[in-house]
Structure 1
Amino acid sequence: MDAGLKESAERSNLRSAVRKSRPQVRLPLLQRIRRGATFLGAFFVVSVVGYRWLTGCTWLDAIYFFVISVSTVGYGETSSARPEVQIFTIGVIVFGVVGVGYLVALIIQSMIEGQIEHALGVRRMEHKIEHLKRHAIVCGYGRLGQTITKELRRRNKAFVVVDKDPDIVAAALEEGMLAMLGDATEEETLLQAGIREAETMVIALQSDADNVFLTLTARNLVPKLRIIARGEQVATEKKLHQAGADQVVLPAVIGGRRMAALVTRPNAAEMLENFTNHEKIDVDLEELRIPDSSPLVGKTVRETGSRQQHNLMIIGIRRAEGSMVFNPAPDDRFEVDDTLVVMGRVDDVHTFQRMHRLDCDNPHIG
């Protein structure tokens, strides 16, 4: 409950920040509109005072003269006004028509520009999404969603953000992300986000019920899609798996275990935190797949010399049939389509991957 309140407050603050920053985009045009309105107001005062002073009429008559002059309605085929009044009226008509036309044109321009820019922006975004392949779809751009997208951007993983809050979507767009406004639980929204070409969907909505429903919807649309879903309640984990989620993440449970580890095994917990936080140490985890053309096929862990030659640790092997080997033995052999989980500096991983012709989804590598 507290986490939900905190996330709602953060989203509210984000919306406020976006609203404060948006007027700057239209500032030059708004300034011109204000100047046009100021000119028209000043011109109205000068014209009304001028008519009253020249003709000695009432204030109402002076306003009447101004309106029919600026509107070009006119007084008839001939005028009985004195020459000086006629000259003044000519000036009122010329400057009045120009002033009103200028102000109206600016207002229309602002409306048309906004609609055109919005339409072009939406079309450009749709065009980019249509050409995405093997991308991720992040449903929900709250605290968790922002953390996820930050890491995806660091890893150069293509993704699309989907959220139904227009201010939140605007904030994502201003960050340079591909973002869509819509209800992620609707099939049409998921199709527009390119779910049929997506590789992974991350479901991080605030409601467990919405997460379960979205998982079921996405699984029915794309049976082979990898779905990673968030759950707030422990009881929701089973429901998410039944709905079709491949992995379920319970932030409260993970946070509790991490805090307990800091109490019981502080050094081990700190080391694990460093491994998962690239900002603290220059070490990263990477996955490398072994194609049939790699010289690693048939070799043992010992024969790779990963630790001695490349300063890497092979901490796991995902076999082609799906089983995972943790801390493989020196005599374990590599097979085609095995995926190595290695830990080391990015440059060392790059060298290892290039030397053994391994596949890697991370554009930073290879």
Structure 2
Amino acid sequence: MAGFPGFSFDPKNRAHATRMTPTRRFALALSLLAVMTVIGAAGYMLIEHWPVLDAFYMSVITISTVGFGEVRPLSPAGRLFTIGLIVTGVGSAIYLFSVIGELIVEGRLREFLGKSAMNRKIHGLQGHVIVCGFGRFGGAVVEELNRTAVPMVVIEADPARQAELDVAGALHVTGSALEDSVLEEAGIASARAIIVATGSDADNVYITLSAREKNPKILIYARGDSDAGLRRLRLAGADQVVAAYQWAGMRIAASIIRPSVVDFLQLSVPGRESEVDLEEIRISRQSPAAGKTIAAVERANPRLRIVAMKRDDKPLEMIPGADTQIEADDLLVVIGESDSLKRLASL
């Protein structure tokens, strides 16, 4: 791929992504039939000078071959136009019926109707998260986002994984995220974040470039499996890059060197509803904590400590001073017992 030496784009992926499914053929056939109906009505209006209703009625009965008589006597030019409409329009109708038959025979009619409902839900999303790839890495991300009820859409190129996505209860689009149309179908323009988690560094770089082009403000989290991949993902515009195998190796090594620290970190994984939890809390203007000091908030909420604070665009401040005054819109990173965190968050 130009600009990123050492990466190659597999044309087989694009061929797979552009292969037309029965549901897409149904949409195409329906659109084609509608266009032919409009063309037929327009032809009768121009040639025979018929009213709109008569022209549309004649167009529909001609294309559907129901055998009704002519609405009005046709001129020679009108008869020639009707012959052409029968040849082209009836072919469009037959194509539509064959696609419907294919959907029924293959048991995909319910699937198509389900996808239509899912597409409506996806188009209604705002500020959601897109996950590209439902492998082991992407599946773990989806499980965590699902558990915290974060609105999301999964893009997965392998149709065989659709059953797993249905079980997970995730909105999804079957197709390759390498295709612009698939990203658009997943609502890239209105998404707040995208997680690029396919198994190919080259594909992840390409998807990152596409996502940044279509939504310059979106947050991009990308997976990389090599040092070169991580570097190129940053160059492509990813906000954060993750080397899954590297982090796993570091975690195992740390558990050998500092087992107590790792046990504590495991205990305080954010959002796990364990005895000790780690959470971020945005202070609203109505919160009783606004205007109070760090020490006052900690005294009012036993077994809780504020370990970091972020204000406006300033860097994250670790271990803020006890006399630091909390302001509205401050973001606090808090560790403590789950019940104490819930009480503070409820304020």
TM over 0.5: yes
Q: In the alignment, does 2:326 pair up with 1:331?
A: no
Change beyond 3 A, Cα 1:237–1:277:
same
Contact preservation (8 Å) 1:274, 1:280: no
The alignment partner of 2:120 has SS state of: helix
**Number of paired residues?**
247
Counting only pairs closer than 5 Å after superposition, residues 197-346 of structure 1 correspond to structure 2 as: 197-276=190-269, 281-305=274-298, 309-346=301-338
Q: 1:253: how far off?
A: 1.7
Cα offset, 1:133, TM superposition: 1.7
- Shift in Å, 1:345: 4.1
**Superimposed CA distance per residue, residues 72-101 of structure 1 (whole angstroms, 9 cap, x where no aligned partner):** xxxxxxxxxxxxxxxxxxxxxxxxxxxxxx
1:250–1:300 distance in 2 versus 1, CA, 3 Å: same
**Hey, what's the Cα distance between the residues in 2 that align with 1:277 and 1:199?**
21
User: How far 1:310 moved relative to its partner?
Assistant: 4.3
**Which ranges in structure 1 are unaligned for 5 or more consecutive residues?**
1-107, 356-366
Please tell me whether the aligned partners of residues 267 and 277 of structure 2 are also in contact (alpha carbons under 8 angstroms): no
1:136 aligns with 2:123: no
Asked whether the 8 Å contact 1:162–1:169 carries over to 2, the reply is no
Q: Per-residue deviation at 1:218?
A: 0.3
Q: 1:131 to 1:345 in 2, by over 3 A?
A: farther
Measure how far apart 1:195 and its partner are.
1.3
The answer to whether the Cα contact below 8 Å between 1:316 and 1:340 also exists between their aligned partners in 2 is yes
User: What residue is the counterpart of 2:161 in the other structure?
Assistant: 168
Compare CA radii of gyration and give the structure with the larger one.
1
The 5 Å alignment of 1:33-112 reads 111=104
Whole-angstrom CA distance in 2 between matches of 1:345 and 1:170: 38
Provide the secondary structure at the position in 2 that maps to 1:337. Answer: coil
Aligned to 1:119: 112
Whole-angstrom distance in 2 between the partners of 1:340 and 1:280: 18
SS of the counterpart of 2:172? strand
Matched, 1:177 2:170: yes
| RMSD of aligned residue pairs (Cα, Å) | 2.2
CA–CA distance in structure 2, aligned partners of residues 240 and 246 of structure 1: 9
- SS of the aligned residue for 2:268 comes to helix
2:183 is aligned, of 185, 190, 203, to 190
Shift in Å, 1:346:
4.0
Name the CA shift for 1:305/1:275 in 2 (closer, same or farther; >3 Å). closer
1:146 aligns with 2:129: no
Q: Does the CA-based 8 Å contact 2:290-2:328 persist in structure 1?
A: yes
Say whether the 8 Å CA contact 2:208–2:237 is kept in structure 1. Answer: yes
The Cα of 1:265 is off from its aligned counterpart by 0.9
Contact 1:310 1:352 in 2 (8 A): no
TM-score scaled by structure 1?
0.63
- Answer yes or no: is the 8 Å Cα contact 1:125–1:178 preserved in 2: yes
TM-score w.r.t. the length of structure 2 is 0.66
Question: What are the superposed Cα offsets for residues 23-49 of structure 1, whole Å, 9 maximum, x if unpaired?
Answer: xxxxxxxxxxxxxxxxxxxxxxxxxxx
Q: Is the 8 A contact 2:289 2:326 kept in 1?
A: yes
Q: Describe the superposition over 1:325-364 as per-residue Cα deviations: whole angstroms up to 9, x where unpaired.
A: 1122212222332211122344432221223xxxxxxxxx
Q: Which residue of 2 aligns with 1:353?
A: 345
Give the whole-Å Cα distance in 2 for the aligned partners of 1:181 and 1:252: 27
> Percent identity over the alignment?
37
Alpha carbons 2:133, 2:156 under 8 Å: kept: yes
Paired with 1:112 and 1:253, the residues of 2 have a C-alpha distance of 48
The answer to whether the Cα contact below 8 Å between 2:267 and 2:274 also exists between their aligned partners in 1 is: yes
Question: What SS is found at the alignment partner of 1:227?
Answer: strand
How far apart are residue 118 of structure 1 and its match? 1.9
Contact map agreement 2:224 2:243 (CA 8 A) in 1: yes
- Separation (CA, whole Å) in 1 of partners of 2:170 and 2:318: 36
SS in 2 for 1:276: coil
Deviates more, 1:217-226 or 1:294-303: 294-303
